[in-house]
Amino acid sequence: MWSIRDSMDDKHSQSEFQTGSDNKHRKLKRIAIIFTVTLITLGLIINFVPTFIARHLIESEFEKLGIEHSGIDTVRVNIFKREVWAGPLHIRMSDSDLGQLGELGIKIRFFPIFKKRAFVESVLIRGVDIFVTRSPDNEIALNGIPLNQIFPKDENTKTNYEKSAPWGIGLIKFELLESRVIFREKTGGILTVEIDKFSLSNFRSWYPNKPGFFDLKAQVNDIKLNWTGEARPFAHNITFAIDEQTRDATLPKIIRFVGPLGFKRKEGIYNSNMKHNITIFDSGRVQGLSEGTLELRGLNYEREGDFSLTVDRSEINLKTGYTLSENSDFHLGGSILTKAEKIKGVIPKQNKFGVDGAVIELEDLNLTLGADKAFQVSSKTQTTLDNAQFSGTIQISVGTLLDVLKYIQSLSTRKNAALEQELPIDPKQAKMTMPQADIKVKKIISNSLFDLKSAEGDVSIETAGSLEGSEINYSFSKRTTTIESLRSELKSLNIRTSENEVSIDLRGNTHANDYQIKSPIGQARAEKIESVIKECGVNIQPGKIAVEASISALFNGNKFSTNERKDITQANVTASEIMVNNKGSIVVSKQEMGWQSDVDFKVEGLDVSLDKGKTANVKLSMLELKDAHANQNQEFKIESLSVSGLDIFITRQFVEKALKIRSDESKKDNESNRHNDNESYSSLIKKIQKRLKEQGLYKGAIDGQMGPQTEAAINAFRKISGLPANRKISGLPLAVVGLKKTLSALTDTSGPPIALSFGHFALVDGANIRFQDNTVQPAVDIETIFKIAEIQGFDSSDPAKRAKVRIVGDINEFTHLELDGSVGGFGPESNFDVSGKIENIELHTYSPYTAEFGGFMLESGQLTTLSDTISKEGNLDGLLNVELEGLEFTPLTEQDQDRLSARLGLPVETMIGLLEDSEGRISLELPVGGTISKPAIDIKPAIHKGIGGILKKVFPPTLVASILISGDKGDLSFTPIKFSPGSKKLDREAKTYADNILLLLEEQPELSLDFCGRSTYQDLASKADLPSKSQVSKDMEEGDDSESNQEVSTIDTDILNKYAPEMIELAVDRTSAVRSYLINKKGADPQRVAECRPYFDVNDPGSPRVEISF
């Protein structure tokens, strides 16, 4: 039963339960409040404490470094959102530029942690300004903050690497926006990098083969960059793929950083579109491929004194691959194609060049650089140039070549340059400089292969290729060369160097069409030229340079002509073909220089015309020279020389003009020598003094003065050397001539004599030589036809060896010419034995020349000559037989007749009359003597012999001998008719002599004689009772008249005045006595017994007489 107690108990129980429940609620509420407060506190701690700590740490670090700052309160750290934000933030040190961080936002994820992956979801950086400077001591500072303060070096810090599983890292998104980095170089250069955007995305190390992406848009000194691409930085082999665009790059923008480069003009824009693929292998090898286009527009550069260059537009297409091996060996390969328009430039020494268009393609490019410094460069190059031009000088120098080779050697060795060696010549002086010239070529096309290797200082260069050019124009010094087309093929050019040797080997050929040269002198043309370098080798060793070459050339359709000028004979030359083959060598050492050359030469269809053929013309079908050899010992050998179809026409006008030109040149040379003599007199004496001092003959100073001591030394040397002693020479040029002879003897370096030899010379098919002279009347026309002309086996170096000589020909059809014999040696001491003859020369043909030079006309007559002459060591011994038949001539004037008679020693008619036989024939034997240098043909003995033959018919031999002796001394004359002193009567002996004279006149109807009376000192002595003849008279009778002008004795003037008229009258009476006897008593023709002027000579100690002369 339910009871009140129970009810009360129930009420009591309910009350207790309610009280317990309230306590429990209060406890839970208290816990909730505490938890909430705790959570709020933790939230506040998490949200604000990290920010506070970050701000505190940053601020304290800045203060410790002395960095001024602002904006630290913008740093915010949100752990719940895994975000960090800051900005704007400014920092700097002292007075440096203010650095800025406009905005920074980072979001990081660490989950799932059990996979050890942490990556940045996003990074945003905006408005960064950083100023970087490099001090003169190469210290780097950021906004004035030294880099070593930001990143101090702690040498005691040791890094412990514990082996554990690495965390995976990743970057979802990174952006750097509107930021700037300014770098100031210690030299003053500024590099400004303005980054519009730089982003990285999707980089995860746990997906190594999936690419991440990047994007860069920036300006570097206002050069626009737009780079995009992808990369796999976490892959086994790291790769990069880059698309690169560069715009508006200019040289001034680069100069802002690198500093002034000395450019006066620096215009031009560079743009590029490139793609790069780079792989970095885990082994360390790097491999890449770059391809794209580089564009250049409006280039205009000039550095004063160095060069200038302008290019309207250029485009370079590249496709290159490169590799850097694990051992640091580098290799580059691929191709480069360059196209350019309107190129102009100037290089040093004002050498100008220009090209309207250019295409240069490098194919199969190969560049290898070894870790051991060995390298190789090779390529195949194709070049096309349109309207190429060059104006300036070109210099080829052995020294420059050696410098280049030495530099290439130095790239592959640490040793000294290999070509530091002593050469027999100065390489800097061994150069060839072409004069200032203008060169224009319409089109050039070249193809070449090039291979350069260098290892341990040994260099090898091998190249080959071809070059084609069209419409080539080369002009200098008023001379112009044009070539319609040219093709050169370089078969091979090999250059090799080692430590002590350089060798060059060249082979190639050239073909040219329509080659023309024009100059103030004239013009030349070859329709076609072909030249071949069969071999050309150069070897350079210490103290020695050797060159060997074998070259051939063929010229077709050749023409040459000179312009009409006063100083040059107008000439035209044509040759259908000219061929030359030459093989030679040169060796130069310090001791000597040796050379030799072997030549084959041939000309076909040669035609040489002077003054349009009016004055001279030479034609030949072919001239061929075979196996010609020459060397430094002056040895010239020819195996064979043949000329066929030779036809020569020559006139007197040409000969005279040639002689005049030669005479004018000699005068100019003499004037030049006299000028040089005056300038070099002192230096010449110095040279002589130095040489004489070396020989111990001169002890004085080398002062260039001709003092007594110098003159004595010169005379001593001349005496020792067998030279004539020095004389006092008036006139500086003559003095210098004498001194030069002395110096020549002191410095005699004459080599061996010239040695000339040839196996065979011949005029094939004969030859025709015609001489014409229209300047005289009648005109002279002489034609010589050689039927045979040959020489065999000539050798001047071997006098014992005799060459056979044979010449056969006709002159003007009816005159026959022959020469036959042998010749040994060459020069003034040669040996020969030659016989020759010329038959039936028609003398009237040469009458105009006898009239011009001799004063008489040859009306008729024939001449035949026979000669046999021997030379022994240069001494001549021979006989020339001359036969004249039917000779008739006429003196032009009396003056010409007198002049000719005076030259012959007796009247011409008399001479001819005495020499002709009864049939009108004159035969003379003329001895040939003297030497080859000074041959002597004495005509007087022959004439005297002929006259003597006539005289012997009338006079006794003693009288004939007297006449001939008189002729040897001067004019040919007779022994005079002698008279007693003071007498004018003929004695018996005188009359007998006069009778013989009359017989001679009767034998020679053309002969006329002159009779001249003479009175002498003996006549005066007999009248004035003076002393007898002096010793001088005895000398006179004995034939010594060298002092005939000396007075016999001193005679009183009164005596001379008293007896002189009587002495003259006595001389006249003696002439009359002889003529009266011959004319009145013997019947002689008065016109043939003439009278000449009588005279009295007191100084004549000879006998009184009447002289008889022709």
What pLDDT, in 10s, does the model give residues 982-1011? 898 999 888 888 888 888 777 767 677 888
For CA atoms 57, 58, 61, 63, the dihedral sign is negative
**How far is the C-alpha of 628 from the C-alpha of 641, rounded, in Å?**
9
- Strand, helix or coil for residue 1044: coil
The phi, psi pair for 965, rounded to 5°, reads -65, -40
Q: Of residues 398 and 700, which shows the higher confidence score? A: 700
What's the whole-number mean pLDDT along residues 199-226? 88
Q: Domain-by-domain residue ranges, the chain?
A: 827-951, 974-1110
**How far is the C-alpha of 421 from the C-alpha of 423, rounded, in Å?**
6
Residues 6+ apart with CB under 8 A from 828: 874, 931, 932, 933
Alpha-helical runs (H) found in 593-651: none
What's the whole-number mean pLDDT along residues 558-577? 83
**Helices 1017-1024 and 1053-1076: angle between axes, nearest 10 degrees:** 120
Alpha-helical runs (H) found in 809-863: 847-849
Q: How many CB atoms lie within 10 A of CB 811?
A: 20
By residue count, the chain amounts to 1110
What's the whole-number mean pLDDT along residues 18-41? 61
Position 579 scores a pLDDT of 95
CA distances for 934 relative to 15, 395, 657, angstroms: 178, 50, 27
Asked whether the bond before 88 is cis by omega within 30 degrees of 0, the reply is yes
Residues 6+ apart with CB under 8 A from 903: none
pLDDT over 90 at 1101, yes or no: no
pLDDT over 50 at 294, yes or no: yes
- Strand, helix or coil for residue 177: strand
Residue 578's pLDDT band (boundaries 50, 70, 90)?
very high
Residue 684 has which token pair?
């010449």
Q: How many CB atoms lie within 10 A of CB 1032?
A: 19
Q: How many CB atoms lie within 10 A of CB 646?
A: 21
What's the whole-number mean pLDDT along residues 1069-1086? 90
Q: Which of 99, 93, 91, 100 is nearest to 66 (CA)?
A: 93
Over residues 130-148, the pLDDT tens digits come to 778 887 887 877 766 676 6
**How far is the C-alpha of 516 from the C-alpha of 555, rounded, in Å?**
12
Position 27 scores a pLDDT of 65
Residues 6+ apart with CB under 8 A from 672: none
Q: Which of 1008, 1034, 1011, 1027 is nearest to 1105 (CA)?
A: 1011
Q: Which of 680, 678, 608 is nearest to 650 (CA)?
A: 608
- 935, 867 in Cβ contact below 8 A? no
Most confident of 513-517, 560-564, 810-814, 870-874: 513-517
Q: Which of 394, 534, 556 is nearest to 476 (CA)?
A: 394
Residue 393's pLDDT band (boundaries 50, 70, 90)?
confident
Q: Which of 687, 666, 562, 679 is nearest to 615 (CA)?
A: 562
What's the whole-number mean pLDDT along residues 638-656? 88
Residue 227 has which token pair?
């780079």
Over residues 190-206, the pLDDT tens digits come to 888 888 888 888 888 88
What's the whole-number mean pLDDT along residues 1086-1105? 86
What's the whole-number mean pLDDT along residues 395-402? 73
What's the whole-number mean pLDDT along residues 905-928? 70
Position 1094 scores a pLDDT of 86
Residue 89 has which token pair?
């933030």
**How far is the C-alpha of 972 from the C-alpha of 913, rounded, in Å?**
14
Position 340 scores a pLDDT of 93
Tell me what percent of the residues of the chain surpass a pLDDT of 90: 23
pLDDT over 70 at 908, yes or no: no
Residue 611's pLDDT band (boundaries 50, 70, 90)?
confident
The pLDDT mean for the chain works out to 78
Residue 878's pLDDT band (boundaries 50, 70, 90)?
confident
Weakest mean pLDDT among 516-530, 722-736, 800-814 = 722-736
- 314, 338 in Cβ contact below 8 A? yes
Position 721 scores a pLDDT of 59
What's the whole-number mean pLDDT along residues 155-159? 52
Position 301 scores a pLDDT of 86
- Strand, helix or coil for residue 360: strand
**How far is the C-alpha of 279 from the C-alpha of 640, rounded, in Å?**
73
Q: Which of 183, 219, 180, 218 is nearest to 199 (CA)?
A: 218
- Strand, helix or coil for residue 874: coil
What's the whole-number mean pLDDT along residues 51-73? 68
Q: Which of 356, 424, 411 is nearest to 386 (CA)?
A: 356
Beta strands in 956-1084 (DSSP E): 977-978, 1009-1015
Which architecture characterizes domain 974-1110 according to CATH? 2-Layer Sandwich (3.30)
pLDDT over 50 at 492, yes or no: yes
Position 454 scores a pLDDT of 84
Position 1044 scores a pLDDT of 36
Q: Which of 609, 550, 553 is nearest to 578 (CA)?
A: 553
The phi, psi pair for 875, rounded to 5°, reads -95, 125
**How far is the C-alpha of 913 from the C-alpha of 463, rounded, in Å?**
87
Position 51 scores a pLDDT of 65
What's the whole-number mean pLDDT along residues 436-453? 91
Position 815 scores a pLDDT of 86
For CA atoms 148, 149, 153, 159, the dihedral sign is negative
Torsion (CA) 1024, 1025, 1029, 1030 in degrees, nearest 10: -90
Q: Which of 515, 448, 518 is nearest to 486 (CA)?
A: 515
Weakest mean pLDDT among 211-220, 300-309, 496-505, 1030-1039 = 1030-1039
pLDDT over 80 at 164, yes or no: no
Q: Of residues 369 and 25, which shows the higher confidence score? A: 369
- 1026, 1054 in Cβ contact below 8 A? no
Residue 973 has which token pair?
């004359």
Q: Of residues 419 and 593, which shows the higher confidence score? A: 593
Q: What angle do CA 596, 599, 605 make, to 5 degrees?
A: 155
Q: Give kind and range of the element (H or E) at residue 546.
A: strand 544-562
Most confident of 94-98, 450-454, 800-804: 450-454
Position 754 scores a pLDDT of 74
Q: Of residues 934 and 452, which shows the higher confidence score? A: 452
Over residues 755-813, the pLDDT tens digits come to 788 888 898 888 899 988 888 878 888 889 999 989 888 887 776 788 899 999 998 88
Weakest mean pLDDT among 110-124, 363-377, 488-502 = 110-124
Residue 973's pLDDT band (boundaries 50, 70, 90)?
low
Position 994 scores a pLDDT of 87
What's the whole-number mean pLDDT along residues 1023-1049? 50
Residue 699's pLDDT band (boundaries 50, 70, 90)?
confident
Over residues 658-680, the pLDDT tens digits come to 777 656 655 655 555 555 555 46
Q: Of residues 407 and 1103, which shows the higher confidence score? A: 1103
Most confident of 374-378, 644-648, 832-836, 1008-1012: 644-648
**How far is the C-alpha of 116 from the C-alpha of 110, rounded, in Å?**
8
Q: Which of 1004, 1030, 997 is nearest to 1016 (CA)?
A: 1030
**How far is the C-alpha of 755 from the C-alpha of 736, rounded, in Å?**
32
Residue 373's pLDDT band (boundaries 50, 70, 90)?
confident
Position 433 scores a pLDDT of 73
Pairing of strands 117-134, 168-184: parallel
Position 39 scores a pLDDT of 58
Position 181 scores a pLDDT of 84
pLDDT over 60 at 236, yes or no: yes
Torsion (CA) 738, 743, 746, 752 in degrees, nearest 10: -90
Burial of 806 (0-12, 13-18, 19+ CB in 10 A): middle
Residue 748 has which token pair?
């005699």
pLDDT over 90 at 935, yes or no: no
- 770, 782 in Cβ contact below 8 A? yes
Over residues 355-367, the pLDDT tens digits come to 999 999 999 899 9
What's the whole-number mean pLDDT along residues 271-291? 91
pLDDT over 60 at 16, yes or no: no
Tell me what percent of the residues of the chain surpass a pLDDT of 70: 71
Residue 8's pLDDT band (boundaries 50, 70, 90)?
very low
**How far is the C-alpha of 534 from the C-alpha of 588, rounded, in Å?**
22
Position 516 scores a pLDDT of 93
**Displacement of CA 895 from its chain's centroid (Å):** 61
Position 2 scores a pLDDT of 41
Reduce the secondary structure of 2-65 to three states and give it as a string.
CCHHHHHHHHHHHHHHHHHHHHHHHHHHHHHHHHHHHHHHHHHHHHHHHHHHHHHHHHHHHHHH
Residues 6+ apart with CB under 8 A from 371: 327, 328, 329
Write the DSSP string, 425-465: S-TTT-EEEEEEEEEEEEEEEEEEEEEEEEETTEEEEEEEE
- Strand, helix or coil for residue 949: helix
Q: Give kind and range of the element (H or E) at residue 709.
A: helix 708-721
Write the DSSP string, 109-140: E--SGGGTEEEEEEEEEEEEEEEEEE-TT--E
Weakest mean pLDDT among 502-516, 680-694, 949-963 = 949-963
Residue 690 has which token pair?
């130095």
Residue 1073's pLDDT band (boundaries 50, 70, 90)?
very high
Residue 1035's pLDDT band (boundaries 50, 70, 90)?
very low
What's the longest Cα–Cα distance across the chain? Answer: 244
Residue 172 has which token pair?
């979802």
Strand partners, 396: 432
Weakest mean pLDDT among 289-298, 328-337, 745-754 = 745-754
